[in-house]
Amino acid sequence: MDEIKFEKDDFEFAHDSNDKLIDKTYSNSSYMKDVMTHFLKNKGALFGAIVIVIIILLAIFGPYFNSHTYKSMTIEHASLTPRIPIVENLGIFNGEIKRTNREGEVIVTNQYLDKGLEDVYYWFGTDTQGRDIFTRVFEGTRISLIIAFTAVIIDIFIGMFYGVISGYFGGKVDMVMQRFAEVLNGIPTLVLVTLLSLLLPPGIWSIIFALMITGWIGMNRIARAQVLKIKEQEFILASKTLGAKNFAIMFKDILPNIFGQVIIMSMFSIPNAIFTESFLSFIGLGIPGPMASLGSLVSEGYKSLTIYPHIIGSSIIVLALLMLSFNLFADGLRDAFDPKMKQQ
Amino acid sequence: MGKYILKRIAIACATLFVILFILFVMLEFMPGSPFNDEKLNEAQKALLYAKYGLDDPFFIRFFNYAKNMLQGDFGVSYVINKNFAVSTMIFQRLAVTIVIGIQAMVLGTIVGLILGILAALKHNTWVDTLASIISVIGVSVPSYVFALGLAYFVGFKLGWFPITYNPSNAAMSTILPTIALSLFTIANIARFTRSEMIDVLSSDYILLVKSKGIKEYKMIIKHALRNALIPIITVMGPLLVGLLTGSMVIEKIFAIPGIGSLMIAAIQGNDYNVVLSVAFVYSAMYIFTMLIIDILYGVIDPRIRVAKGE
């Protein structure tokens, strides 16, 4: 038998450097670590998370950054354009207004200098009643966020209990409960919310209540679908065999398993709640003045859109950024926790 | 199939009835009276209440009302247009709202489909990224933000289109509102089309079509898009209704004389019958489109019939 001989160049390295390849697909890493890696890789979601944190911090501390309050009016300071120290030297945000007159000449005026307010700075300008827009925008953001979060938390509770009970008992109970939800869902949300806020005295709680009326239906659907999946599993059977009561099974065995899903989906409801609130304020059914929400600021600024666009500008940018960020963040969170639901 | 359709229709009718009841109860508790004229004394007010049947028992009023509503008799307006039939007011204004809604729907669907198909074909390239960015922005930013932006930059600064509705130049006046409204539709349709098309394009029968050497556009339109369209139908219903109700704010911004601005005017004037009727028209349109979509989808996909209980 001939001996097989190997020459020196019979084999070559598969890689130039013989590093160990890290097997990421089947590597042993904890669930939370997986989720984190997945989430951090998603640039949109990361951007969303950072913007949300910045806006929340500004909503908490922003109104105290200067000496103005959301309702302090200085009529002589009305409708000033933004002026920011240091930045003003660059030729932007220096309080100037450029206007074109009828002959087509561009006239530049500076209200701050004309009125002798050399030392006065309004970062986002002032509104038509001489109130600081910076303070009002973040005061408004705070109220919009409070409304959205409270409404969504209430939605989670109602929707989850409703969905768990409906899904767990099944049969007739399920049918009646789901038909009821379906009928309520058949009413266009904006119409229902509009009518409700007409009925209730204006204020934060009325808006939260109006948002709550239809908001829970989506949560109920998610919770129910999850319960239907889980209730056939062995650990529920084991619980039943050991003599656990229905109530205990529902809230001790099933609820902790669906909580994560519900929380993730609730992230999508927050921008929705912010939108509905701003919609109500825009048609004149929102927070009564001098309090402000993002929607009421947009609605106020809209009246002088063509003369003083800066009044509406800042609130609309914050509103758009906030909604965009929450959507990106929720998308990223869902993809990270549940890659199955990920869109390709 | 027949049973499924009957069941859907029954639910739709029940919803309609519940809506009528809810609207009626709500308006019972509304603050303010329809007769705000200070010149009226108590006796005159009582006469007016009797004339309009406002002091009949609750259920009699409700059933009279429901009967009239279903016959298209929405009563008369008390405040905005004294003694003017609400149905006439609504039908005069309905056309503008529907025209803008349909324009936005058509524009949104076409642009959305094109964007979605492009994104799917150029999967993981800059085209895909751009389309995704557009759809995320379109889905999350409210349509009135776009409306205000368009009104200021395109309408006011550039002066290309009128900012406020001009009846003598109706076609031009509807362009900006249509674009503002359609962005949400574009974004949603593009999202769905993209994910459906990616699914379909990676299936075996597309591979077969490709290996037979068929032209690309023919493959996309005849073989891929047709199959991708089925799930897209489901999002069309809610989108259409979203357009109709979303138009409320858009109508206010561009001063369009549609039913949305009528609703806002009625809310601010405590005009019971008008608020009730517009809300009813909105809800009826919503229920009707949802019914059509449900039935259509049941016809196309038998699994839905089973899932929703036949």
Domain residues for the domain of B194 are 87-268
Residue B51 forms part of a structural domain: no
Q: Which run of H or E residues covers position A110?
A: strand A106-110
User: Which residues sit opposite A107 in a β-bridge?
Assistant: A99
Q: For chain B, give the mean pLDDT.
A: 79
Cα Rg, chain A, nearest whole Å: 28
Domains, in order of start, for chain A: 44-68+135-311+323-343 (1.10.3720.10)
Q: Is the pLDDT of residue B271 over 70?
A: yes
Is residue B64 one of the residues assigned to a domain? no
pLDDT for A326 beyond 80: yes
Contacting residues of B for A190, CB less than 8 Å apart = 245-246, 248
pLDDT for residue A9 is more than 60: yes
Q: Which of B228, B226, B236, B225 is nearest to B296 (CA)?
A: B236
- Tens digit of each residue's pLDDT (9 = 90 or more) over A159-197: 888 888 888 888 888 888 888 887 787 777 777 777 777
Highest mean pLDDT among A290-304, B20-34, B177-191: B177-191
For B19, the token pair is 């809506």
Task: Give the confidence band of B310 by pLDDT, cuts at 50, 70, 90.
Answer: very low
**Averaged pLDDT for residues A293-314:** 79
Chain B hits for A174, Cβ within 8 Å: none
- Per-residue pLDDT band for A343 (boundaries 50, 70, 90) equals very low
Nearest to B241 among A179, A184, A188 (CB): A188
Which residue is it, tokens 């007409």? Answer: A198
Cα four-point dihedral sign A248, A254, A260, A261 = negative
Q: What is the pLDDT of residue A140?
A: 85
User: Do the Cβ atoms of A39 and A47 come closer than 8 Å?
Assistant: no
Q: Encode A283-333 in three state secondary structure.
A: CCCCCCCCCCCHHHHHHHHHCCCCCCHHHHHHHHHHHHHHHHHHHHHHHHH
Q: Token pair of B22, please? A: 């809810």
Phi, psi of A144 (to 5 degrees): -60, -40
**Beta carbons of B282 and A196 less than 8 Å apart:** no
Question: Within a 13 Å sphere around the CA of A77, how many CA atoms are in the beta-carbon half?
Answer: 21
Q: Which residue has the tokens 């009727």?
A: B277
What 3-state DSSP class applies to A96? strand
What percent of chain A has a predicted confidence (pLDDT) above 70? Answer: 80
pLDDT at A145 over 60: yes
Domain assignment present for residue B76? The answer is no
Q: Which amino acid is at A286?
A: G
Asked if residues B273 and B80 have their Cβ atoms less than 8 Å apart, the reply is: no
| Structure confidence at residue A89 (pLDDT) | 67
Contact A191 B282 (CB under 8 A): yes
pLDDT of A342 reads 44
Q: Give domain status of residue B23, yes or no.
A: no
By C-alpha distance, the chain B residue nearest A279 is B249
Q: How many domains does chain B have?
A: 1
Residues of chain B positioned with their CB less than 8 A from the CB of A306: 152, 156, 163
pLDDT surpassing 70 at residue A1: no
Q: A191 CA to chain B: closest CA distance, Å? A: 6
DSSP class of residue A83 equals: B
Q: Is residue B62 part of a domain?
A: no
pLDDT of residue A344: 34
Amino acid (one-letter) located at B114:
I
Task: Specify the higher pLDDT residue, A342 or B308.
Answer: B308
Distance from C-alpha of A279 to C-alpha of A274, rounded to nearest angstrom:
9
- pLDDT of A196-223, one tens digit each? 777 777 788 888 888 888 788 888 888 8
Angle A52-A334-B139 (CA atoms, 0-180°, nearest 5)? 65
pLDDT of residue B245: 64
Q: Which residues of B touch A344 (CB under 8 A)?
A: 195, 198-199
**At B241, which CATH number?**
1.10.3720.10
Q: What is the pLDDT of residues B176-235, one digit of tens each?
A: 888 888 888 888 888 888 888 888 888 888 888 888 888 877 777 777 777 777 777 777
Residue B308: pLDDT over 60:
no
Q: Can you give the pLDDT at residue A95?
A: 66
Q: What is the CA radius of gyration of chain B?
A: 24
Q: Which chain A residues are Cβ-neighbours of B151 within 8 angstroms?
A: 305
- Give the pLDDT confidence score for residue B121 in this predicted structure: 83
Checking ipTM against 0.85, whether it exceeds it is no
Which residues share a beta bridge with A98? A108
| Over residues A280-290, mean pLDDT | 77
Q: Which span out of B104-113, B204-213, B254-263 was modeled with the highest average pLDDT? A: B104-113
Interface of A with B in 313-332 (CB under 8 A): 316, 319-320, 323-324, 326-328, 331
pLDDT digits (tens, 9 = 90+) for B233-243: 777 776 776 77
Query: Using one digit for the tens of pLDDT, what is the confidence trace for A106-143?
Result: 777 776 666 666 667 777 777 777 777 788 888 888 88
Confidence band, pLDDT 50/70/90 cuts, at residue A25: low
Q: How far is CA B102 from CA A32, A215, B181, B200, B253, in A?
A: 47, 28, 10, 29, 19
Distance of CA B133 to the CA centre of its chain: 25
- As a whole number of angstroms, the distance between CA A198 and CA B91 comes to 24
- What's the rounded Cα separation, in Å, for the pair B97 and B99? 6
**B152–A305: do the CB atoms touch at under 8 Å?**
yes
Q: Which amino acid is at B60?
A: I
Q: Is A308 on the interface with B (CB under 8 A)?
A: no
Residue B224: the pLDDT is 78
Put simply, the answer to whether B140 touches A323 (Cβ < 8 Å) is yes
* Chain B residue at shortest CA distance from A282: B249
Q: Is the pLDDT of residue B147 over 80?
A: yes
Q: Chain A residue with minimal CA distance to B240?
A: A188
- 8 Å CB contact of A195 and B279: yes
B264: chain A residues, CB-CB within 8 Å? 283-284
Task: Give the whole-angstrom CA distance, residue B224 versus residue B230.
Answer: 11
pLDDT attached to residue B270: 73
CB contact under 8 A, B198 and A190: no
Q: Are A304 and A311 in contact (CB under 8 A)?
A: yes
Read off the pLDDT of residues A254-276 as tens digits, 9 standing for 90 and up.
Answer: 888 888 788 888 888 888 888 88
CB atoms A283 and B23 under 8 Å: no
Within 10 angstroms of residue A232's Cβ, the number of other Cβ atoms is 8
CA distance A94 to chain B (A): 21
Least confident of A3-7, B38-42, B115-119, B228-232: B38-42
**What is the per-residue DSSP string for B101-149?**
HHHHHHHHHHHHHHHHHHHHHTTTSHHHHHHHHHHHHHHHS-HHHHHHH
Quick one: pLDDT at residue A102?
A: 67
To the nearest whole Å, the CA of B213 is away from the closest chain A CA by: 27
What's the pTM?
Answer: 0.79
pLDDT of residue A117: 67
